[in-house]
Structure 1
Amino acid sequence: MRGTQLANEPDFTEADFQRVRRIAQEEAGIHFPESKSTLVYSRVSRRVRETGHTSFRAYLDSVQAPDGRAEMENLICALTTNVTNFFREKNHFVHLEEVVIPAMAARVRAGGRGRIWSAACSTGQEPWSIAMSIMTAFPDAASHDVRVLATDINSQVVAQAATGIYPEEETEAIPPNKKSQFMEPYGQGILRFGGSICRLPAFRVLNLNATWPMKGMFSAIFCRNVVIYFDEATREHLWRRLADKLEPGGFLYVGHSERVATKNECGLEQIAPTIYRKDH
């Protein structure tokens, strides 16, 4: 038995844990160290109960069966963490509004396009914050070719994010002027985004460790608190792929505990502790 089990639940064996670790690595690039066995147990056991299986082995057999793709997605969703907030790490949004968006707006008004990517959008607070920053620094952005791509591996949180609906208590970090401009009441204690800002975000399900369908380049990419779940090889490969999707002079924003490979390896120069710029 590993971790803390609930009464009358089947054993979560060492073999079960190692099997879940392999699935997480192969399907999503997520690395669970040995110390995370209790976390893995708690998340997988929920799916075992909800699907009516009598053992972890039987559940994992069903997930890996040819007709198990739908439940495989549910398992990956259960294993991924979705902790976020509006305007999290405010220095990123100050930099976005003062440096990135004005330059992007000038190009867009001259006939170009503007793209920013929220690469792990979770329940949407990050891409909606990006959209509010765009509309603040570039008020007519919605009438131009400007979009915020918002992606996540978890289809459930992507669907939730696309609604633009949030309990009012979850919006406390939004500055009052932005909240009054971009959100509207939607029932008791609930707010939703409304008006032209809703034309900016495009929500899609995407596995960062799989093939990316996007052909264009981005002025900025937010990939924060994601690679902490990957092993070193997967991390470095992702940094290089993200750098390849940035325009010359574009910016990558990462989490406060994350570091990107050196400039010579992926062409990114650190200009602040969690902000990197691609070489021109």
Structure 2
Amino acid sequence: MGMAAVIYMILSFYISNKRLRYYYRFVSLLAAYGLIMSGTRGAMIVPLGGVAMFILLNKNTRYIVGGAICLLFIYVFFAQTHILDSNRQIHRMRTAFHPEKDASYLVRKANQKRLAEYMVHKPFGEGVGLAGMEGRRFSRRFTTDIPTDSHYVNIWVQFGIVGLCLHIAILLFVIGYSAYLIMFRIQNRELKGMLIAMNCGLWGIMLSAYGNNFFWQYPTGYIVYIFQTFLVLGKSYDKELAEQTKLEPI
């Protein structure tokens, strides 16, 4: 829901069809509402991270200022005030901005500390499938008795620090390379908007994956890798669109 909220709102800024523009904004607001109702605090970083990346990728001053004001408002509202604390959903979301007071966060940090002591001599990890409670179907051992509660911790336990660094490097390469294409190589406006939306959505999901082990779950896993494919092939699509424009009759 967080990724949908970011993607559809960004798309609405670049689409030329007026009806689609308002439809995308409506879908974005519904997705944001679904995110709030879900109660998943870790997912809040998806739209926030997506907006932050949108500011970095954009050259339009109006969008940059608007995005910055939006981020500042959200931070001040949740982190610095107690407005609407009587609302259960708002109060729950507000705790995400004070993790040091959150019992769930403290337990996760304690589990990561225990795993770190065990993994210090395992640079290539415990083995495929041997991380978290779900790994008990393969074997019962120390790493399958401790919840990982994070995609990156899960990767670290299975493949070690070597595998984790490689995994993160690949993800950052896709984000960085696609950002370069978007900012300096893509000419078609609507295509640029689509790629920006994918990049921002993917970046938000990557940030949220630190607090939740969902990155490879259905349907997120499919969406992530489809987005990565489109992002690295952005220049090819831009070239095809340019050639089609030349062939169109005047």
Shorter-normalised TM-score: what interval?
under 0.3
Length-normalised TM-score, structure 2: 0.23
The structure richer in helix per residue is 2
The structure richer in strand per residue is 1
